[in-house]
Amino acid sequence: MSFTHLHGHSTFSFLEAIGKPATIINKAKELWMNAIAITDYSGMYGMVKFYQAAKDTGIKPIIGVELGFVMDINSNIPEQQIGNIVILAKNKEGYQNLMELTSFANKEGSKGKPKIDLQALKTFWKEIICLFGGANSWIGKMIALDEKESKMIEIIHLIQESIGKENVYIEIIAQDYKETEESKKANEVLLALADKEHIQCVVNNNYFYPTQQEKEAREVALAIKDGLKIYDETRRKPKGQFHIMNEDEIRKILENNGFEKNMIEKMIATNNSIADSIMTDIELNQALFPNYETPEDIREIYEEHKDQLVINE
């Protein structure tokens, strides 16, 4: 089995990424991948297109989302300090909970940035997997702020208690340390935490476009989103390679960053093991209506006056 991406974005991460779901699926097929995930920011708008394209192509769709994460939804944390958490659905029930969490983030947690909190995870915890790692994750933000290790471990334990220890993974981001110093700092702390707390690691490069040739197109999209021109010096210029990498590319980056071969093998195997365990079948082309329970007082009024109702035939 080839490498499985568990973290990546489509054009439905509006103006943050390039690549339609069908294009992503075709790229995965080109690279002989058996499965791939899309984890768009703050929404699941592309999931049906992704699911249909994957099923038509014979690729397993791994459905996910990337949301902001805070301990308490009512806390006043500056937006730039709110890091993310990646959530994957293990099966149909997990998919339902993913939708619940996404709705919560965009309704209850919409102030500043769509986000969930620990209580939301405790409420919609069944059949989901959580990944966290990288400079933009909640733990990455804590690392950048030089927070105490004990505080990070405390939050990890709370997440584990909420969704099950076996469903929590630390994510190592495969980016060249010479290009992305923040990845080096984050990965070193995360590896130490994983070792200390006996947490399994996965590895991703967090893709934002299907091929290397689309790197500039993504930068144009970012400039548009930020209301800037491509020639503005202040525009975002992400360092690193964020295309859909093949396994050899992932391995090469990790080796160049000093990772031992057995560690690389273990992380790639963990990615693939997660992919093997996921079975999300969605029934499409059906009308779904909520099961509305009539309030007791309305039922009493109906029973009292039903003989007076006139039915026109």
Q: What is the pTM of this model?
A: 0.89
Is pLDDT above 80 for 313? no
Q: What is the mean pLDDT of residues 15-40?
A: 97
Specify the 3-state DSSP secondary structure of 118. helix
The per-residue pLDDT for 245 is 97
Host H or E run for residue 287? none
What is the residue-wise DSSP string for 174-198?
A: ---TTT-HHHHHHHHHHHHHHHHHT
Question: 229 and 223 in contact (C-beta within 8 Å)?
Answer: yes
CA-atom Rg of the chain in angstroms: 22
The per-residue pLDDT for 207 is 97
Model confidence at 295, pLDDT cuts 50, 70, 90, reads: confident
The per-residue pLDDT for 268 is 97
Model confidence at 311, pLDDT cuts 50, 70, 90, reads: low
Residue 206: which of 101, 92, 68, 64 has the closest Cα?
Answer: 64
- Each residue's pLDDT tens digit, 198-221: 999 999 999 999 999 999 999 999
- Each residue's pLDDT tens digit, 230-289: 889 899 999 999 999 999 999 999 999 999 999 999 999 999 999 999 998 877 766 656
Compute φ and ψ for 148, nearest 5 degrees: -70, 145
Local structure of residue 31 (DSSP, 8 states): T
Whole-angstrom distance, CA of residue 182 vs CA of residue 103 = 31
Mean per-residue pLDDT of the chain: 92
Model confidence at 158, pLDDT cuts 50, 70, 90, reads: very high
Whole-angstrom distance, CA of residue 223 vs CA of residue 233 = 11
Question: 62 and 88 in contact (C-beta within 8 Å)?
Answer: yes
Q: In the chain, what are the domains?
A: 21-283 (3.20.20.140)
User: Which neighbouring-strand residues pair with 87?
Assistant: 65, 130
Is pLDDT above 80 for 302? no
Positive or negative, the CA dihedral 215, 220, 226, 231 is: positive
Question: 239 and 219 in contact (C-beta within 8 Å)?
Answer: no
The per-residue pLDDT for 301 is 74
The per-residue pLDDT for 111 is 83
Return the residue matching tokens 């990455």: 140
- Each residue's pLDDT tens digit, 76-114: 888 889 999 999 999 999 999 999 999 999 999 888 799
Question: 243 and 212 in contact (C-beta within 8 Å)?
Answer: yes
Model confidence at 157, pLDDT cuts 50, 70, 90, reads: very high
H helix runs in 90-246, sequence order: 92-107, 118-123, 138-144, 149-163, 181-197, 215-225
Is pLDDT above 70 for 145? yes
Specify the 3-state DSSP secondary structure of 41. strand
Residue of higher predicted confidence among 170 and 109: 170
Is pLDDT above 70 for 310? no
Is pLDDT above 90 for 9? yes
